[in-house]
Structure 1
């Protein structure tokens, strides 16, 4: 069939749809689900192009897992076609992925990782290494593009902010390193190891085994100046600054009579509120993160992920999800919408959760038959990375 015949066939296949204004056609198609849109796109090339437009898939994507949209509808993965993200989200829901060990090392460590665009940052003992991700995101380019040092003992936690790496170590020091140069600043922060750090708006907060949390200035001429010392009366395992940069939350070991989750005012260092009333002794909080200025997630030794909404009640969480094998949860991450991923204490178990359900969707054991905690995990719309005692794993959800 010639070109004219092909165009005529496409016009006939499209029927009278193309006689409608484009705005009306978009409105009609907006009522279709993903399967109906896919079938409509098979009618002809023109409809395939039309039904692939981002506006038609945004409503569908906002109800999917890890499709790159926040609870308020903000696009967190601009530049990637929404239709493609919806397709990949089905792999997340059904656990379809390829697994790969990206790095292995001989020493048993407690590594931490961060993602920043096309780079993955990994702490190994006293240093932090920056690896460029391969174009397929399922591998790392060797050797590392940069190595950040300065600690005398192992790096416990680190964060990336404004082209800087901020790390806390077992030597009680905090190191601030510029990513694109060799410049770094180190200052003594705590009497014992710095278990956790966070940084926003020219402020660093740190928590330590010495039972204190501290607020540090990054202002010019005052870098490393301690603004407040908070006596937590318990070892601090996790810490996070509110997106409003008005307060911060600490997660402690829960060995005393105080709640392991407490919020402190950044300006005064005073206690704002305690979260929860029914924690058992030893139910320490190992990870905590803000999803919005008013909602946060926590997890720890008592095997639960909890969601808190500061606008409703601080006495009771709004939702909770129990790890089914009664294992401590070392880390939790969120897509900012419906999906969570958690890392367990045994056999490198990573679980995917839909917040709208009480049970986990999928689980992956990354270290069976040996056992290792998942110390840290991070994910994008296509890949999940998990750091275990001696291995860095990747789950590729684009290629099941």
Structure 2
């Protein structure tokens, strides 16, 4: 140990990068100089890759670069152990189907026909009760919306699709569907919408006319555009056919394949998330989370996790590495999954009483998870010091 500090700093950092979390913690107590070295992000990167929601994805990207890795690993231990504080952030009297988007320090929440932008205070992590901005214009409830740096695109129960400007204000209407717009996704200039009217429409953000309307054999519950924008995936109700998941070519606007087979009637897909250009996660009424390899040479389910209480799964989110969060249809249950394990890692019942709302939408940051229920918005705070849930 006496010779260790005499090594060149780059060699010492390389050695420290191979130590585990406990060893690094003990080494930081040796001296101020060693504590300074142990605090470097380069030392914690290998450790962080093994933790849930540390911000290091499977591809090596860092999605929380402004937060020191050492601090994130401490918080990630709480995600793994289920140590958190539960708090009700917002309540409303009428039961709704709210949706969320988290963009930096702003949480967008749909309530009936409006989308409200709430600032998150950096120090406390609390939500400002008064919205900084309200986006309106629908004649019915907002069913889904997505955010981009410049716009909010929303679809409503009135069949309308609105493009709200986040910079200049105001909104423009796109020719919508004849029934509820159940799902939307947007990447750069490409928009894909799906509806109860059994159609999918493909739009350009810079144009007010749809590029194409694709007839579907069933109601469309979910859509997701690939990161490369070369394809998109649709999830249907699985009532009129037995292929609820399909991949479509963005340029040719043709179905290139169906994923899986043997789905029972009604096993509709309610949420789809691209984890990488070659992998998607799906969930729905059949109570399974499934990981699909969508590469041309594979295109099959490679892993699956079953909801232990046989509940439909309304929504999923992923940290891009080991963690998956899911929202159940009963009792306001949120589950955390480690994809390296078959069983659920942690679960939290957010709703009060024996009969409660589904979890309609989940969003999380490095330290907080936001869950939208029928009549409330809740937060689980995993920062060190939070301990209500354990």
**1:243-254 to 2 correspondence within 5 Å?**
243-254=227-238
Please give the TM-score of this superposition, normalised by the length of structure 2: 0.96
Unaligned runs of 5+ in 2: none
CA distance in structure 1 between the partners assigned to 2:162 and 2:171 by the alignment: 7
CA contact (8 A) 2:114 2:137 kept: yes
2:88 equivalent to 1:72: no
Please give the TM-score of this superposition, normalised by the length of structure 1: 0.94
Measure how far apart 1:18 and its partner are: 2.1
Identify the residue that residue 287 of structure 1 maps to in structure 2: 271
Identify the residue that residue 309 of structure 1 maps to in structure 2: 293
CA contact (8 A) 2:242 2:263 kept: no
Identify the residue that residue 340 of structure 2 maps to in structure 1: 356
- Pick from 264, 271, 280 the counterpart of residue 255 of structure 2: 271
Identify the residue that residue 356 of structure 2 maps to in structure 1: 371
Identify the residue that residue 120 of structure 1 maps to in structure 2: 107
Number of aligned positions between the proteins: 383
- Pick from 311, 315, 319 the counterpart of residue 331 of structure 1: 315
Identify the residue that residue 389 of structure 1 maps to in structure 2: 374
Query: Could you give the per-residue CA deviations for residues 33-88 of structure 1, whole angstroms, max 9, x where no partner exists?
Result: 11001001111111111111110100110111000011011111001000010111
Measure how far apart 1:358 and its partner are: 0.4
Identify the residue that residue 4 of structure 1 maps to in structure 2: none
Identify the residue that residue 135 of structure 1 maps to in structure 2: 122
Query: Could you give the per-residue CA deviations for residues 3-39 of structure 1, whole angstroms, max 9, x where no partner exists?
Result: xxxxxxxxxxx62222211122122222211100100
Query: Could you give the per-residue CA deviations for residues 191-235 of structure 1, whole angstroms, max 9, x where no partner exists?
Result: 10110111113121100000010101223xxx2211111111100
CA contact (8 A) 1:229 1:269 kept: no
Unaligned runs of 5+ in 1: 1-13
- SS for the counterpart of 2:2 is helix
Q: In angstroms, what is the RMSD of aligned CA positions?
A: 1.1
CA distance in structure 2 between the partners assigned to 1:136 and 1:230 by the alignment: 47
Identify the residue that residue 2 of structure 2 maps to in structure 1: 15
Identify the residue that residue 38 of structure 1 maps to in structure 2: 25
CA distance in structure 1 between the partners assigned to 2:167 and 2:118 by the alignment: 14
CA distance in structure 2 between the partners assigned to 1:382 and 1:285 by the alignment: 28
CA distance in structure 2 between the partners assigned to 1:375 and 1:137 by the alignment: 25
CA distance in structure 2 between the partners assigned to 1:318 and 1:148 by the alignment: 40
Measure how far apart 1:136 and its partner are: 3.6
Q: Which moved more, 1:91-100 or 1:361-370?
A: 361-370
CA distance in structure 2 between the partners assigned to 1:201 and 1:50 by the alignment: 40
CA distance in structure 1 between the partners assigned to 2:5 and 2:250 by the alignment: 58
CA distance in structure 2 between the partners assigned to 1:71 and 1:250 by the alignment: 24
